[in-house]
Structure 1
Amino acid sequence: MYLPPQFAAKDPAIALELMRAHPFAQLISTDDEGFPFVTPLPLHVVEEGGGLTLLGHVAKPNPQAEHLRARPQALVVFNGPQAYLTPRVYPDLQRVPTWNYLTVQARVQVGFIESFEDKDRLLKHLIHDHDPAYAEQWRGLPEDFQQNMMKGIHAMELRVLELRCKVKLNQHRRESHAAMLRLYEQGGEQAQALAGWMRRLKLGTPDT
């Protein structure tokens, strides 16, 4: 990822917050011909021992599992809020449009989870993240049904080797911040989310 210094998030808590708020990620590896292969999937973030591990699974027929068994490193991308920015926010005319966004990229070491108990624990993490009311229904399903479901997935733990977080909010163009914040506050959900990050980073506020 191209990461100019002014857009590199210095606080690791920002990356962690983005990963948890936007858990539907892209798992990117290469196929047997060296071409990128991408699977969109939700991931659960685990903090332990000062490191991060991402838990998720793909369907049994998905060939990416075999790619990853052969080449067990991959890239995971989490995309946060994003929105267009008009050059009308600048006081001078010689500016061009741009796009603001937040994103996290993690280089990971892939390991596979094989036992029923460990797969069940992984699924319960994901259920708790997205549909905790379903947990009781899952626990009540017949054991043979659960066993068959577990056989239908490749469960994975992705140990984070390197984490890069990009927060692109025109930090280097202070003259645009006040107008940019007002514009995003009046926009749609994505733009308003960016406005929230601007306020958090004190861009466009009287403190800047």
Structure 2
Amino acid sequence: MGIYERKQREKKQRREEILNAARKVFSHKGFNTATIEEIALEAELSPGTLYLYFKNKEELHTTLSIEILKYLADEIQKVNSQDISVEDKVEKFYDVFIDLYDYDSDILINLFHLQSGETLHNISDDVLEQIKIYSTMAHGAIIDVVKEGIAQGIFIDEHPAALADILWASYAGIVLWVDSKRFLNNQKDFVKPTLKTAFKIISKGLRKE
């Protein structure tokens, strides 16, 4: 292995170490309270070194959100490629969404905030481009399933992108709104049962009478 290849490998490894440290600190302290200095300490690096890899705290947190978004896009595409009915595919979307929430609900919530907040203005063009790529992949895979259902005469004949938006927006809205109830009662998980009910309603609403 040459010098350049070794340096690239070391750079990639250090970047992963920073992300792992950031995940721990964000999970423990939350985004607003966590600092670059604390993340650097967890990663056993200087704050200046972190800035060589990430523009700011927002970009670091956004990069963790991109990992979840990429996973979501991959899993939805896997569902789309299965030889099962469109109704079963929509039901499997529920499983994917629940798995995503279980993996890291805090990062997932940040992802939803990203898509409607000002943070997108504070990140680099490269990170923004990654968000666009994986968002398009995930959304496109959902649209493909909806199109399939419409073509088969199973789903209502409405614009596929609009129907996909309703499914995605329902997921995001429920997670953001119902998760906020943890401030009132942190002993109960409201998100999963509410999502299950929502998917029953959405699945029923997609079908032709």
Same fold (TM over 0.5): no
Taking structure 2 as the reference length, what is the TM-score of the superposition? 0.29
User: Using CA pairs below 8 Å that are at least 6 residues apart, which structure has the higher relative contact order?
Assistant: 1
Tell me the TM-score normalised to structure 1 length.
0.29
Report the structure number with the largest CA radius of gyration: 1
| Structure with the bigger percentage of strand | 1
